[in-house]
Chains A and B, each alone.
Chain A
Amino acid sequence: MLNNITFGQYFPADSFVHKMDARFKLLMTFALIVFAFVAFNFASLGLVAVFTVFVLLLTKIPLKMYFRTLKTIFIFILISAVLNIFYVTDGTLLFSYGIIRIYTGGILRAVFVAVRIVLLILISAVLTYTTTPTSLTDAIESLLKPLSKIGIDTHTFAMMMTIALRFIPTLIEETDKIMSAQKARGADMENGGLIKKIKSVIPILIPLLVSSIRRAKELADAMECRCYHGGKGRTRLKVLKAGRRDVVATISVCVLLTGIILLNIFI
């Protein structure tokens, strides 16, 4: 049950997007997310959509991987879209029953919102699918570096993130095991109301917490054995390096921004 979480996982492939500097990828993901919000009409949103689809194809990752991510939050997209149908009262009245009135404007708005959410998810999926968690953390560490000048320990923060990412699959596996163990002892986790369900989580959480603390202690020992003494004097096997493809990507994103602004103004 817990094994089929795909969001936030890396898919190795040899593509333009995979080879980009993680820092640029991270910044551009933010830029694209902002663009999806500032695109006011169908024309400019369509431009963002075309660009996103182009990037998806560039990643060489099977499109069904992206569909799988969309499927998991399909309900969320649906609810946000449907809510918009009822709130917009522009255009011609299509349907009315009691207080429910649906206008053409509402339908258009719903489609617009759905497309926007789908784009947001696809854009962030591109980042997590094409970037290893380690280079993502390295990128964050590198982008936060200026903060270390005002006394914030960015190395420790990045190390914490790396370890968290490393232990997510381990802890998921462990949760699965504890759940099976508790079920084998007759714990009932499926039935009952909300309160009962929440209560049934406690016998899973406590062993998980205890074992996490034990793991943390052992990991700290293992790290010390391997001469870990903070970020001072530490070198890295992989150093992030910006190349020509990052310049190309930055220019295309700038062109995209110009396009969005023009379409927003003139259409």
Chain B
Amino acid sequence: MQPFIEVKDLSFSYSLSEQEKIPVLSHFDLTIEKGSFVAILGHNGSGKSTLAKLFNGLQLPDSGQVLIDGKDTADEKNILDIRKNVGLVFQNPDNQIVATIVEEDVAFGPENLGFPQAELRRRVDEALKAVDMYDYRKHEPHRLSGGQKQRVAIAGVIAMEPECIVFDEPTAMLDPKGRQEVMNIILKLNRQLQKTVVLITHYMDEAAQAQRVVVMDNGKIIADDTPHAVFAQVELLKSVGLDVPQPTELIYQLKKAGIAFDKDVLTDEECLEALSRKFSEDEHCQ
């Protein structure tokens, strides 16, 4: 697979003053392939949000490199091209919406890129249809629900037609219904529209839906594998203050209580299957 985002030996720190610096990431390496769906998990302060801002040149590394499709984010010439290709969706939809009408907000990105009017129209309509908000195109954003606002914010990024979309805790401020709506869009973007998706989250069930899970702690990667393999390391995740998805947790507790299961589970269905197999085995024994 072709790499799309390459982070090479990156170090980054926030400076409080001339002398005082808080290191966030040090000697960090990460490669994200084109078309993949990667979830980045980590506790508050693990450096995961900073990483998102490094992906499109909103922050620049102190040392090391971030390459987007081979282009260095530190090079001023590349910046518009990189931001066009790596869209960023933030936590709070209220602070991402610029215009007072939904469709005008979605048009904001492409307008900045200077597309002619007919092209703007096509992009806005397609983006709004992709997030299922086309019927709301004339509405005022502040009258929409949290989930709807976040979908408008996502449409604003889709309208730039980026190769990759980075979501920085997009569901953290939403109710369960809004969370589900946004998760469905994220899955659709990756599976149907073949976008590279990076999902930064602290919800385990969301991370479990990705193809690859990267776990960060204190600016370092402590696990990087498929969701099954990562969530099998229950002890490791708990040691850095993270949880595992509820089905995994249930089987883990049962194992600890002395009941043997042959493999780890991730989804509700797998959990149900493992449990029913266990029950039928028990009946055979009796």
Contacts and interface: CB of A to CB of B under 8 A. Distances in A.
A binds B: yes
Interface stretch (B15-23, B34-42, B109-117, B267-275): B109-117
Classify the interface of chain A: helix, strand, loop or mixed.
Answer: helix
Contact of B58 (A219, A221, A229, A236): A221
B13 to A, nearest CB: 19
B96 A222 contact: yes
B142 A170 contact: yes
Contact of A229 (B80, B101, B117): B80
A215 B99 contact: no
Contacts of B157: 225-226
Interface in A147-193: 162-163, 165-166, 169-170, 173
Interface size class of A (residues with CB under 8 A): 20 to 34
A249 B183 CA distance: 50
Contacts of A228: 108, 112
A234 B114 contact: yes
A134 interface: yes
B100 A133 contact: yes
B157 to A, nearest CB: 7
Given A132-B101, A228-B112, A237 B83 contact: no
Contact of B117 (A12, A163, A169, A235): A235
A237 B100 contact: no
Given A236-B117, A237-B103, A237-B104, A219 B98 contact: yes
A107 B97 CA distance: 52
Contacts of A10: 140
B124 interface: yes
Interface stretch (B2-10, B86-94, B208-216, B238-246): B86-94
A19 to B, nearest CB: 14
Which one of A169, A227, A238 has the highest number of Cβ atoms from chain B below 10 Å of its Cβ? A227
B95 A162 contact: no
Given A12-B138, A234-B114, A235-B114, A219 B95 contact: yes
Given A132-B101, A134-B100, A225 B114 contact: no
A31 interface: no
Contact of B97 (A165, A166, A235): A166
A227 B58 contact: no
Contacts of B153: 222
A233 interface: yes
Given A218-B92, A237-B124, A239-B117, A227 B98 contact: no
Contacts of A170: 94, 142
A166 B98 contact: yes
Nearest to A239: B117
Given A169-B142, A219-B98, A229 B103 contact: no
Contacts of B94: 170, 215
B123 to A, nearest CB: 9
Interface in A238-255: 238-239
Interface in A177-224: 215, 218-219, 221-224
Given A163-B98, A219-B96, A225-B87, A237 B107 contact: yes
Contacts of B140: 10, 169
Interface string B47-64: 000000100101000000
B117 A227 contact: no
B140 to A, nearest CB: 8
Contact of B80 (A169, A227, A235, A236): A227
Contacts of B97: 166
Given A134-B101, A228-B108, A228-B112, A222 B80 contact: no
Contacts of B141: 166
Which 10 interchain pairs have the tightest Cβ spacing? A237-B107, A226-B109, A218-B95, A222-B96, A169-B142, A227-B112, A225-B88, A233-B114, A237-B120, A133-B100
8 contacts: A162-B98, A173-B142, A219-B95, A222-B95, A224-B58, A225-B58, A225-B157, A237-B117
Given A235-B114, A239-B117, 17 more contacts: A133-B100, A134-B104, A165-B100, A218-B92, A218-B95, A222-B95, A223-B98, A225-B56, A225-B58, A225-B83, A226-B98, A226-B156, A227-B80, A227-B109, A227-B113, A236-B120, A237-B111
